[in-house]
Amino acid sequence: MHVTGRVLTSRWVGRAALFAFWLGPILGLFGPRLSHDVESFVFWQLRVPRVIAGLLIGASLGLAGAVTQALFRNPLATPSTTGTLAGATLGALLALVFGVASTSIGMPGIALCAFAGALATSAIVLGASTSGRLRTQDILLIGIAVTLAASSAATVVEDIADAPALVAASRWSLGHLSQIGYDRIRMAAPILLSCWILLLSQIRALQLLVLGEDVAHARGLNVRRARVICLSGCALAVATAVAWCGPIAFVGLIVPAIVRLAWGGNQRVVLPLSLFTGAALLSLCDALGRLAWSKHEVPVGVVTAAFGAPVLVALIALRDRG
Amino acid sequence: MEEICVTELIVDQLVIARGTRRVLDGITLRVGYQERVAVIGPNGAGKTTLLRAILGLIPVQQGRILLDGVPTGNLSPLERAAKLAWLPQQALVQEPITALEFVQAARYRFQEPNQIAREAARRALQRAGAEPWAHSLITRISGGEQQRVALAALFAQEATVLLADEPANHLDPAQQVSAWTLLGQAACAGTILVITHDINLVPLLGDVSQTRIVALNRGQLVFDVLANEPSLPERLRELYGIEMLAYGQAASRVIVPRGPGERCT
């Protein structure tokens, strides 16, 4: 009876939180009162695209986090432990330091370089994952090694950077959704949506992979193919998301954790629900960051960490209480 | 005589090496259709390695493994899963999933709607006597209950050859008997290869005069006899290098190890 009671507490609080997150996209449409003609422009050209971007990017990060955690059977595995985010940060930093940030080839240089950096580091991890001899846990270690190497390289670049570039880099690394207009959404949406389809097609494979790769193999799964598909889908989705809005790493870590606490570990539930919860949570955090303090906007990356961490800790405490 | 029945599984001159050490050194084994084989041997003899090699989990240096005449390496993962199902020594799962979801995942090889997979998983749980825990998280049930759920998953895959690695490890005597009895029932429909340290559980698989005991030691096949072989206690003595006492006859024969008899006083 005790056990059931505890599970239920954590479950129901978690479920309530998941629904409450959906206030985010609604909240994102509101703002301070403005004169009528400005209001219409601000609403349609700033707030609406921002909410859409928050939903798309949050969904991608939540889903990618859930897939990464299932693949590595590790609740600490996220796109930041597989090298993707460190690569994006290094790319963005290089763009700022070497002055290609403003060059535009359809998209700003900083986004382009972050995207390239994320794909480059992911390619190393992905290359390792095609080897049949390596175990999935080895790939996680390689991802961490790549992350550390990219971070060290970033430190070197920071060392030679001038002050304005450093300020811009630190601002970028906080994460923000404010600069995304319809043109960028049009560019990112097809990539993100195809990644979703690719990753959601792997639900049955991931249901086996959480039981261990040997068991998955014995039950008829082509383990190597499944992990290459999962890793490339995650890398592309995260690279796209991060290129536009900076490294909002935390969404990928906490969203699947909250979903699992609230609904259990069935991948058939965890994956789609992480997609929806990520979307809701990121737009909620963005709205909170924009509305909380009228003088200055708090970057969405900061709000996600400040808001998401207590929610996660509270759910874990509820689960283990008693 | 072996031409009469369809030969399911042939291991031919199998060599598995780890570095310079030969973990399996020229193993040849034929397991016929609906045959029951218990694999015994000291720790490190290569029993688990043999099972993993058959499953294609480790690369084979020399020799062949054939299933119905086809090298296992030529089978697609789904074809292999239709023929071979595996009960690992310990299927530890940290994921908070229910027993039903766990068993349903074993139906991966069937391209079937969710509803049908669920029904089949429920039947497998019923067969293993694990139905009461269908909706319990498998992280929250006892070791014996987990093993029943693992057996249900083994059945749910509906493969023709079942490979079980110490299916009664860590279980209390009652659970040991029920796990082995379930495996014996499964053996009526297919071939079964089971690794064990407890020779006295083997009769639970079925008729001892038709159950084989295969012994491995240091990567080599030492003997391959029927479970009612009179010289078995003698052979076990040689295999393990300790005294073995036998009581009773045929199916009710019990073989127990005897200590050196020295006690500190």
Tell me which chain A residues have a C-beta less than 8 angstroms from the C-beta of B55: 214, 217-218
As for how many domains chain A has, the answer is: 1
CA-based nearest residue in chain A for residue B136 = A4
Tally the C-alpha atoms within 13 A of residue B204's C-alpha that lie toward its C-beta.
20
Domain of A308, in residue numbers: 2-320
Q: A195 to chain B nearest CA, in Å?
A: 23
Angle between helices A182-200 and A223-245 (to 10 degrees): 160
Contact B85/A at CB under 8 A: yes
This complex has an ipTM of 0.90
Contacts by B214-218 with C-beta closer than 8 Å and gap 24+?
B214/B29, B214/B37, B214/B38, B214/B39, B214/B40, B215/B39, B215/B40, B215/B41, B215/B239, B216/B27, B216/B39, B216/B40, B216/B41, B216/B45, B216/B46, B216/B47, B216/B50, B217/B41, B217/B42, B217/B45, B218/B25, B218/B44, B218/B45, B218/B46
pLDDT the model gives residue A30:
82
Say if the Cβ atoms of B105 and A208 lie within 8 Å: yes
Nearest CB to B95: which of A204, A220, A265?
A265
Fold for B7-258, please state it: Rossmann fold (3.40.50)
CA A116-A120-A124 angle, 5° bins: 165
CATH number of domain containing A81: 1.10.3470.10
pLDDT tens-digit profile, chain A (322 residues): 344 555 557 778 888 888 888 888 888 888 777 777 788 888 888 889 989 999 999 999 999 999 999 998 888 888 778 888 889 889 888 888 887 666 555 567 788 888 899 889 988 988 888 877 788 788 889 999 999 999 999 889 888 888 888 888 888 888 777 777 888 888 889 999 999 999 999 999 999 999 988 999 999 999 989 988 999 999 899 988 888 888 886 888 889 988 988 888 899 999 999 999 999 999 999 998 888 877 778 888 888 888 878 887 887 787 765 3
Those residues of chain B that have pLDDT short of 70 are 1-7, 91-92, 261-262, 265
pTM of the predicted model, to two decimals?
A: 0.89
Sequence ranges of the domains in chain B: 7-258
pLDDT per position as a tens digit, B197-245: 999 999 999 888 889 999 999 999 999 999 989 999 999 999 999 989 9
Helix (H) or strand (E) segment spanning residue B226: strand B220-226
Smallest CA–CA distance, residue B34 to chain A, in Å, is 20
